[in-house]
Every structure is written in C-alpha cells, then in structure tokens.
Amino acid sequence: METQIPSQQTPMMQQYWQIKSQYQHQLVFYRMGDFYELFYDDAKKAAKLLNITLTSRGHSAGNPIPMAGIPFHSADNYLAKLIKTGESVVICEQVGDPATSKGPVAREVTRILTPGTVTDDNLLDQQHDNILMSIFKQNNQFGIACLNVASGRFTLQAVTDITQLQAEIARIHPAEILTPENTSLPVEKNKIKERPVWEFELSTATQLLNTQFKTQSLDGFGVSNYSLGLCAAGCLLQYVHYTQKCALPHIRAIIVEKNNESIFMDAATRKNLELTENLHGSDDCTLASILDETVTAMGARLLRRWITRPLTDHAVIQARLNHVGLLLQSDLLHDLRELLRNILDLERILSRIALRSARPRDLAHLRDSLGVLPALQNMLQEIHASDFDLLKKQINIFPEIFNLLQKAIIENPPMIIRDGGVIAKGYDAQLDELRELEGNSHDYLLQLEQRERDRTGLSTLKVGYNRIHGYYIEMSRLQSDQAPIDYSRRQTLKNAERFITPELKAYEDKILKSNSLALAREKQLYDEMLDAIGGSLAELQESAQALAECDVLASFALCALQNNYVTPTFSDTPGIHIVSGRHPIVEAVIDSDFVPNDTHFTSEKKMFLITGPNMGGKSTYMRQVALITLMAHIGSFVPAASAVIGPIDRIFTRIGSADDLASGRSTFMVEMTETAN
C-alpha cells in the first residue's frame, strides 16, 4: 500500500515524504543538524519503543506533525535498542552544505540497518555471530543461504524436510530471515522479511554471484547441485547491497555446508544438551561456557560455531586434536594466550574497512593488533611439528600496513573522522600547514585584543569565538556607545554587546576556509588508508581466521589442562567405549566430587535401559555420553579416563524439559518446587 503524502507540506517535509515513501516499513532517521528526527507514525512508534518524548514540529492540514528526535552523537545506543526489537532503520544524512543550499539541504539514504545486516560493534554481541539467512522452498525441498555481514562468511546448503530446516535454524540462530512473499515457514514471524519472488530467480542469482566473486562460473565453489540454495543466496546478496549501499569486497567466496559433513542434531536435542544456551535462555552452565577460555572475540565466536556443528571428518578432527596436544606439550601455552589477548576483533574491523564504515578507532585497533603478530609468529615457529605448518603459514605479518597506520593515526583517535584530529602530525605536510594556521590563531587573537584595547581605551574589551556566531569583539552594554565606526554589531547579550570588524571577518573567513580544507584533506588521507588496507583484505582475513583458530585450540588446551581431559580416539568399528566419563558441566558447577561412569556400546549391545530413583543421575548420565561424544567431534579433549568412539552421524536426546542438571534438580523436583511456591 502506497503512503498518502499529506497536502500543503513545507519544502522540507516534501523532501521527507519523497524519501519515506520508498521505505514504508522502516523507521526513517532524518538528519536535522545535530539530531535525527522521526515524523508521523515513525515518531509515535520510536517514542514508545525508546521511551523518548513525542512532540511535534509544525502543522499539516491544520494538525500538529508528530515528531521525536535523538541526538546524533548518542544515536548508536538508540539504534541498538531498535535493532534488538527487530526494527529496521533507514539512515538519511545531510549531504549538501547548509550554507550554500537553496531550499532544503540535500539529503540521501546512506545505509539501512536491519537485525541481520548490522556491522557496528555497539549493535553486535561480541561472542555470537550475527547471521542473515535466506530460505527458498520448492517441492518441499529447501535451499538455505547464510551470510555474516560483519565477517563476510557466506554459506549455502540444502535440506530435505521441515525437521532438518528447523534444526538448521536452531543451530544457526539467525537474526533475520528472508523468504519469498507468501511463503509459510515454521519460524519466528518477527524475524521474517518477505522479499519479491523475482529476487529468488536462479539466473539472476548466478549472475550476481559471478559478479561478486569475479568469476565466469560458480562450478569451482561446488554449488552445481544446489540450485535452491543459489536462489536463496541471490536474494540474500541483493538485500545486503540494498542495505549497505556499497560494494562488498569482504565477501569473497561461498562455502557449501554438506549435511554429511556434520553430526545431525534436531532442535530439541540442541536445546536439551544446553550447548550455547541453557533452558532459561542464558549462557550460564552451558557447554560453551565450560570450554570458552578464549581471549579474543573472534575465537569466542568460532568456538560456538564449532560446538554447534560437530564434524564427521576424522581427519579434520584429528588435526585439531593434534594441535591441542602440541600446545599442551609445549611451554608456550600461557605466553601464546597473552599475545592473543592483545588481538582485537580483526574479523569485524576488516569488514567495516571493506564496507567503508570503519571508524578511526578501528584503524587504531588494527594497528595495535598487527603490532603483536611478529612476536606471535616467532612463538609459533618454536613449535616444531608439521601439524602446525599450515596455521603458521596463514598467520602473516603486514609491515607496510602496520608502518602506515603507525605513522598516520594518533595513539588514541576520536570516534569519528568527521571532526578531524585523527591524522598524526608530520604525516602530511599539506595538512600540517592548514592546521598550523588555526594553531596560530590564539596568538593572533591576543595581539588583536591588545590593539583594540589600545585603540578604544577599553581595558575590559575581549576578543573571543563561539561555534554559533564565530569570532567577536565583546564589550559591556554601557561601553558599546564607544565602539568605533568600523565595528558591526554581531550579537546582543544581557550585559554585553558583541561586534566584528572587517579585519576580524577576513581572518574568520580565512580560518574557516583552512578548517574546511583541513577536514577535507584529513578525510581524503583517511580514505586513501582504507584503500591501502583493502588491497591486502584477503590476506588479512585469512590471518584473522587463523588467529581465531589458534585461540580456540589454545582454549581447548587450557580446558584439558585445568579439568584433566584426555584425547579421544576414533574407531571405524561401531560403538562407544568411555571409561570413567564425567559430565563436563555438572562436574564444573557442583560442590562435591563427580562420580565417574563407564559406557560401553557395541554392535551387539546397542541399547541400555536405565532405571533408578528420582534425581539418581539418569538424565545426567545420558547427556554425559552425548556431550563427550560431541566434544570429541569438535576437536576437544574429553572428561574421561579414556574414550574410543566409532562412527557417529546423529545425536538424539529427549529428556525432561524442565531438568536443571547444573543445580542437580530433575524435572520432578523442579515441578514440585514450582507447585510448592
């Protein structure tokens, strides 16, 4: 339904409606000086969601125009609140110069923030991936494409029924889901964004993906049998271009996630095993909380990705286990973790650089992180084992980029480039010269003040400056009659008058011009730095990924050391043999010692019937076997004296939904306690 634009609008409101009519289902943040303002229904909704004042600006057809506003400098906090509620926000900036504009200042939409496409740190959870998912359904088959815009990781898969689809949604936990119009899916409705059916056309998707990856064919990505997934990926890519309003160079490939490459767990199993979220919806007392000794945000996210997708490829798993073993055998684990602790969130910083939304502090954090890499690389060289060779090769040092940032960016830059003060003195002679003119203004104003005092005989005369009215000569109201003839009144205060002279006006114009030129020059230098870093984007992303892996492997090693875990062994013979197994979460949170248990499944002994009193440990034992098996398949050591695990392709569990194992309470006890209270 098209928005009806009210009649008799001011030119500014006409401009607003021209923009709003294109974004009827999003909140439009319309830039007005130092504020973002919302009007009409947008204002009413934002005022309610943000708990801010609903006021009005002007009238339309005799009625007040509802308006709500937030300061530009504190907008991020408000945006975060709106995104968390599932809203999408259109950012409309002033792009024209108010001083030279005839009529309303030119404005345009610079970006669109949606739950699945945000990249700013303050809008994201450091420990969890923020995923945009697209689903295309045909003949009860489903193609799924997922993109982490904040990292560039782009995946594709196919599922054959609703159960598998629900399992993947539970695993990935997307922030936003794109579907064709009028497609019914069993997912949270507030996460769904319906898109036109034509955005899912295969030919369009193929063309878009080839353009994105600069390829002639997609065969090299192994997607030839994933046409439904490609349809979903094409829509997803169009949507991200629509929201970001720029190129997406950090998205360099698409990864096919095959169903047989990982152990299948349905949504109920994931919930009951409390892998990354407990039954109460928090991270406490989950497998992730036990295994997470990571020291980087990238590592924390990768760990959760591994936990939610345990692998079936024993070669990959064994390589991880070998890395963990080598770290345990070396004396470098503590020192390695201390170096990794100084690595900032390179994954997301690099994505913002690619999207041209990086802030000065992103570049400072990149500089500081790159400064750690030589020492870290040297430390890894001390591990003399071929298993570590690939990881060593992937972690590069970038001396040219580091030296550039070291010279160009001040130690602690401001939040935004707009106001300047980011580029270090001595980096650019032209910028230094423009800044020097402003730097000498203090001496000039003192000299002018003394000259004017001598000329007028007024010892209390002052020369000053403010952002609104510019430079001025100030004297009291009583003395204002003595102002020389070349003084022009600029501002009247309660007890003083402010004037300007032709000389001071000429100096003001000179300073303002130099300020404007300095800011423009600084922005130019900043953009050139983004270009220079972008030239090494692929290599930087590869190093960031390797650093995240290194962090997770070091986390596994520390957990094994602290909790007395052992290396699991894999066998081609069906069965599970666990000696003195322990529940990794329960043993970590109970005050008493955990009593270990043995488990022996074989091709002849395929099922156990467990009986016992309420709260005797039946659920704990069953989950313990599942968690030990899962830990082994992510490359972690396990809580047991020994563990030999045969081929596994699926984990099932359906245990009392109210079990609170971490507190030692069964479903029966939880329900009785609730009834008593």
CATH number for the domain harbouring residue 593 = 3.40.50.300
Give residue for tokens 């974004």.
23
Give the bridge partners for 253, in sequence order: none
Q: Are residues 91 and 134 in the same domain?
A: no
Q: Are 113 and 243 in contact (CB under 8 A)?
A: yes
Please tell me the predicted confidence (pLDDT) of residue 385.
Answer: 78
pLDDT at 588 over 70: yes
Q: What's the mean per-residue pLDDT of the chain?
A: 91
Please tell me the predicted confidence (pLDDT) of residue 670.
Answer: 57
Q: Which 8-state DSSP code applies to residue 2?
A: P
Q: Are residues 105 and 15 in the same domain?
A: yes
Q: Is residue 178 part of a domain?
A: yes
Structure tokens given for 217: 């064919």
Measure the N-to-C terminal CA separation of the chain; round to a whole number of Å. 51
CA distance 435 to 4: 50
Burial category of 517 from C-beta neighbours within 10 Å (exposed 0-12, middle 13-18, buried 19 and up)? middle
Q: Are 165 and 185 in contact (CB under 8 A)?
A: yes
Closest CA to 556 of 290, 305, 347: 290
Comparison of pLDDT for 96 and 114, the residue scoring more? 114
Burial category of 259 from C-beta neighbours within 10 Å (exposed 0-12, middle 13-18, buried 19 and up)? middle
Structure tokens given for 538: 């692929």
Say whether 461 sits in a helix, a strand or coil.
Answer: coil
Closest CA to 347 of 322, 334, 365, 373: 365
Range(s) of the domain holding residue 627: 569-651
Residues 6+ apart with CB under 8 A from 283: 127, 276, 277, 289
- Give pLDDT tens digits for 482-529: 999 999 999 999 899 999 999 999 999 888 889 889 999 999 999 999
Q: Is residue 425 part of a domain?
A: no
Structure tokens given for 337: 């973790």
- DSSP track, 47-111: HHHHT---EEEEEETTEEEEEEEEEGGGHHHHHHHHHHTT--EEEEEE-S-TTT-SSSPPEEEEE
Please tell me the predicted confidence (pLDDT) of residue 671.
Answer: 47
CA distance 570 to 647: 8
Please tell me the predicted confidence (pLDDT) of residue 386.
Answer: 80
- Give pLDDT tens digits for 398-413: 999 999 999 999 999 9
Q: Are 169 and 133 in contact (CB under 8 A)?
A: yes
Q: Are 30 and 39 in contact (CB under 8 A)?
A: yes
Q: In the listed set 259, 285, 316, which residue is the last one of a domain according to the structure?
A: 259
- Give pLDDT tens digits for 177-211: 999 998 888 888 889 999 999 999 999 999 999 99
Q: Are residues 65 and 136 in the same domain?
A: no
Please tell me the predicted confidence (pLDDT) of residue 2.
Answer: 47
CA distance 178 to 191: 8
Structure tokens given for 240: 């991200």
Instruction: Find the CATH number of the domain harbouring 237.
Output: 3.30.420.110
- Give pLDDT tens digits for 559-575: 999 999 999 999 999 99
Residues 6+ apart with CB under 8 A from 81: 49, 50
pLDDT at 466 over 90: no
Q: Are 588 and 563 in contact (CB under 8 A)?
A: yes
Q: Is residue 590 part of a domain?
A: yes
pLDDT at 1 over 50: no
CB atoms near residue 666 (< 10 Å): 22
* Helix, strand, coil content of the chain in percent (nearest 5): 45, 20, 35
Please tell me the predicted confidence (pLDDT) of residue 3.
Answer: 47
Please tell me the predicted confidence (pLDDT) of residue 579.
Answer: 98
Band (pLDDT 50/70/90 cuts) for residue 349 is very high
What number is the average pLDDT over the span 1-22?
Answer: 76
- DSSP track, 376-416: HHHHHHTS--GGGHHHHHH----HHHHHHHHHHB-SS--S-
CB atoms near residue 225 (< 10 Å): 9
Please tell me the predicted confidence (pLDDT) of residue 81.
Answer: 94
Q: Are 567 and 315 in contact (CB under 8 A)?
A: no
Q: Is residue 645 part of a domain?
A: yes
Please tell me the predicted confidence (pLDDT) of residue 662.
Answer: 53
pLDDT at 658 over 80: no
Q: Are residues 146 and 232 in the same domain?
A: yes
Q: Are residues 173 and 79 in the same domain?
A: no
Q: Are residues 78 and 135 in the same domain?
A: no
Q: Is residue 54 part of a domain?
A: yes
Please tell me the predicted confidence (pLDDT) of residue 591.
Answer: 82
Q: Is residue 455 part of a domain?
A: no
Residue 599 exposure: Cα atoms within 13 Å on the Cβ side: 31
Give the bridge partners for 464, in sequence order: 472
CA distance 132 to 240: 9
Structure tokens given for 674: 């609730």
Q: Are residues 20 and 141 in the same domain?
A: no
Comparison of pLDDT for 275 and 592, the residue scoring more? 275
Going from the C-alpha of 502 to that of each of 328, 446, 498, 499, the distances in angstroms are: 76, 17, 14, 10
Q: Are residues 130 and 86 in the same domain?
A: no
Residues 6+ apart with CB under 8 A from 347: 150, 151, 297, 298, 301, 541, 544, 545, 548
Q: Are residues 74 and 154 in the same domain?
A: no
What number is the average pLDDT over the span 140-144?
Answer: 95
Q: Are residues 136 and 102 in the same domain?
A: no
What number is the average pLDDT over the span 108-116?
Answer: 94
What number is the average pLDDT over the span 231-255?
Answer: 96
Q: Are residues 142 and 101 in the same domain?
A: no
What number is the average pLDDT over the span 355-375?
Answer: 97
Taking only Cα atoms into account, the Rg of the chain, rounded to an integer number of angstroms, comes to: 31
Structure tokens given for 247: 């190129």
- Top mean-pLDDT range of 17-26, 268-277, 306-315: 306-315
Tell me the residue type at 433: E
pTM for the structure as a whole: 0.89
Structure tokens given for 566: 């052992």
CA distance 133 to 178: 6
Please tell me the predicted confidence (pLDDT) of residue 600.
Answer: 96
pLDDT at 9 over 80: no
CA distance 193 to 195: 6
Q: Which 8-state DSSP code applies to residue 431?
A: H
Percent of the chain with pLDDT over 90: 75
Q: Is residue 440 part of a domain?
A: no
Number of structural domains found in the chain: 3
Query: Are β-strands 89-94 and 27-32 bridged in parallel, bridged antiparallel, or unpaired?
Result: parallel
- Give pLDDT tens digits for 58-111: 887 778 899 999 999 889 899 999 999 999 999 999 887 776 677 788 899 999
Give residue for tokens 């990705």.
305
Closest CA to 626 of 581, 661, 668: 581
Q: Are residues 145 and 95 in the same domain?
A: no
Comparison of pLDDT for 97 and 320, the residue scoring more? 320
Instruction: Find the CATH number of the domain harbouring 70.
Output: 3.40.1170.10
Q: Are 431 and 423 in contact (CB under 8 A)?
A: yes
CA distance 28 to 25: 9
Closest CA to 40 of 61, 186, 88: 61
- Give pLDDT tens digits for 370-395: 999 999 999 999 888 787 888 888 99
Q: Is residue 529 part of a domain?
A: no
Q: In the listed set 113, 142, 161, which residue is the last one of a domain according to the structure?
A: 113
Closest CA to 584 of 562, 599, 606: 562
CA distance 250 to 354: 6
What would you measure as the largest C-alpha separation in the chain, in angstroms? Answer: 110
Q: Are 266 and 171 in contact (CB under 8 A)?
A: no
Angle (CA) 124-130-133 rounded to 5° is 150
Q: In the listed set 113, 136, 159, which residue is the last one of a domain according to the structure?
A: 113
Sign of torsion over alpha carbons 344, 346, 348, 352: positive
Comparison of pLDDT for 591 and 224, the residue scoring more? 224
Please tell me the predicted confidence (pLDDT) of residue 660.
Answer: 57
Burial category of 353 from C-beta neighbours within 10 Å (exposed 0-12, middle 13-18, buried 19 and up)? buried
